[in-house]
Amino acid sequence: MRFITVNLTHFLVEGSSLEETLALFDSLTEIPLPGIDEIVPAARTLLIRFQPLQTSMHQLAMAISQRPLISFSQRQCQTITIPVHYQGEDLDYLADLLGLTVPQVIQCHQESVWKVAFTGFAPGFAYLISPDWKWQIPRRNTPRTRIPAGSVAVAGVFSGIYPHASPGGWQLIGHTEQAIWDLSQASPALLTPGAQVQFVTSERHKTISLPTQKPLAIQIPKREVSLTLLATGPQTLWQDDGRAGKAAMGLSASGAMDKQALYSANRIVGNPREACCLEVTQGGLRFRANNDIVVAVTGAPCPLTMTTQDGQDFLLADYRPLNLAAGDELALSAPPRGLRSYLAVRGGFVVSPVLDSCSWDSLAQVGPKPLLAGEGLETGSYPNHRAVLLDEQPAYILPAVGETVTLDIMLGPRTDWFTPESVTLLTTQCWQVTPQSNRIGLRLTGAEPLARNLTNELPSEGTCSGAIQVPASGQPVLFLRDNPVTGGYPVVAVVADYHLDLAGQIPPGVFIRFRIVSL
């Protein structure tokens, strides 16, 4: 058993087999250790998130190493039949790789008895294993930026089904119309650990339909529409502090990309600091106040223009409480620095949470939907608000296109998979943020890619926000708030927690330098 540092709040426990890993997971679930917040099981590792003020990695490692490892419990679950259209883009490649014909590949996939070992990567994404599937399938050198929902794929010793459209590096063999993740069900995930899965050809079998359980209707008292959205810019989302603790369902914590800016906006108007705000990407938001309200804008410094009901224009400052009268309009222009701004209203927005949070998770497609022009927003969630603040200041000077920002990193957990020259290159070379970046991660490009000294496939393991994952192309991806819970490419380093907010404000065209700090 190996214990591998990830960052100040995470470490990996690496076992010798999937069975040993799941046995340890069962032990830690049944008899928890104090200070552990969350455990993410994977192929041969457990990612442990802990409270450093309550315990330490050393104390937990000593306790975990003394746990007896026995065969994990066999969960009795139903066999779920998944109809598949076997028309995947990578079937020909797999047939050549395995020395089989395409019909033989399909036959092997169908005749294998699959079982859900663990979940991760995305909500409802199950890693299926089978003793009948004898091959190790390599992932793509460069992950696809978008794989359609319902895609059936293989990688390593696993098969899986993408519940949502998302990036991914698995080899595609088909597509199913069966819903894999459905929030209208009492248990949103169709595939849960221990369940058996049988794949069949879709043309010969009807798609199974499970009874739909209607969500409970929650009566929310009607409040006055305080704001009317006139424009939402490139993207305006609901965001709060996130939904930590849902990794077992394949959900990352998500939440505001710049949490310090979110907290500042709420403090300025007297709300609880974790209250839901509007996260505005690259400006473009414009709204009308339908009654007298107090708002604040923080984060990326958008020029703010208020237009009164009689047509007068005023320039306003960010990081200040702003009093808008009924009929006033406020417009947020594109920020010259940074990427995301946060709008809070005194008394708080009225938003229905999904799985205990109002944050929109772009990878999981979970949470209140992105906002559209014409929507009316209600306020009044927090009637007992505090006094407004006049002296709030931004935490960072945010970068502009063409500038260079430095982020602190801690090496590991898989630094040893890379050549010493590549580890040096990671910190001596500038990495440019590409336009393909989003809330899931920053896609980086450098003049020289990172080379590995281990070229075999890494069994999927837990990842966290800030992880710098390196696919076979050698061009890194820096995971942000909507990161996948597990991944199959080695992580060379992890950005320090205190620089995650800054990372979430880096627009395309900015250069990043990484600076190593020790634990």
What are 367's two structure tokens? Answer: 């949470």
350 plus 289 within the same structural domain: yes
Predicted confidence band of residue 358 (pLDDT cuts 50, 70, 90): very high
236 and 297, same structural domain?
Answer: yes
Within-domain flag for 475 = yes
Are residue 299 and residue 414 in the same domain, yes or no? Answer: no
pLDDT at 76 over 60: no
Give the end of a domain, one of 35, 65, 95: 65
pLDDT confidence of residue 19 = 81
Q: Is there a domain that residue 388 lies in?
A: no
Instruction: Taking residues 274-280, report their average pLDDT.
Output: 98
311 pLDDT more than 70: yes
Within this chain, do residues 328 and 373 fall inside the same structural domain, yes or no? yes
Encoded amino acid at 406, one letter:
T
167 and 89 in one domain?
yes
Contact 179, 150 (CB under 8 A): no
Residue 168 pLDDT level (bands cut at 50, 70, 90): confident
Query: What pLDDT, on the 0 to 100 scale, is given for residue 223?
Result: 65
319 with 349, same domain: the answer is yes
Residue 71 lies in a domain: no
Query: How does pLDDT run across 377-424, given as a tens digit for each residue?
Result: 999 999 888 999 999 999 999 999 999 999 999 998 999 999 999 999
Residues 270 and 344 in one domain: yes
pLDDT at 145: 87
pLDDT tens profile 420-463:
999 999 999 999 999 999 999 999 999 999 999 998 878 889 99
Q: Is the pLDDT of residue 186 over 90?
A: no
- 77 — pLDDT class (breaks 50, 70, 90): low
d(CA 327, CA 292): 9
CB 163 within 8 A of CB 124: yes
> What is the model's pTM?
0.84
For residues 359 and 250, membership in a common domain is answered with yes
Best CA proximity match to 243, nearest among 352, 356, 362:
356
Is 389 within the bounds of a domain?
A: no
Under the banding of pLDDT at 50, 70 and 90, the label for residue 217 is very low
Which carries the bigger pLDDT value, residue 374 or residue 219?
A: 374
- Within-domain flag for 393: no
The span from the CA of 179 to the CA of 190, in Å, is 8
- Count other C-beta atoms under 10 Å from residue 519's C-beta: 9
Structure token digits, residue 517? 């700090």
Please check whether residue 283 is in contact with residue 322, taking contact to mean a CB–CB distance below 8 angstroms. Answer: no
Q: Do residues 352 and 229 both lie within one domain?
A: yes
Same domain for 89 and 200, yes or no, is yes
Residues 374 and 287 in one domain: yes
CA dihedral 499, 501, 502, 505 (to 10 degrees): 160
Give the per-residue pLDDT at 215. 45
Question: Within this chain, do residues 493 and 440 fall inside the same structural domain, yes or no?
Answer: yes
Domain stop point among 13, 36, 65: 65
Return the pLDDT at 139.
Answer: 87
Domain count of the fold of the chain: 4
Domain range for 95 is: 79-204
- Residue 323 has what pLDDT? 97
The answer to whether 486 and 363 are in contact (CB under 8 A) is no
Cα 234 to Cα 89, 257, 280, 286, 332: the distances in Å are 32, 16, 8, 12, 12
Range picked from 3-7, 112-116, 165-169 for highest mean pLDDT: 3-7
CATH of the domain at 32: 3.30.1360.40
Torsion of CA 219, 220, 223, 227, to 10 degrees: -130
State pLDDT tens for residues 9-54. Answer: 999 999 988 888 878 988 898 899 999 999 988 889 999 999 999 9
Give domain status of residue 428, yes or no. yes
Q: Is residue 113 part of a domain?
A: yes
Q: Is residue 217 domain-resident?
A: no
Residue 195 has pLDDT above 90, yes or no: no
DSSP class per residue in 135-167? --BPPPSS-EEEE-TTEEEEEBTEEEE-SSSEE
> Residue 178 belongs to a domain with what CATH number?
2.40.100.10
- Single out the residue in 32, 65, 98 at which a domain terminates: 65
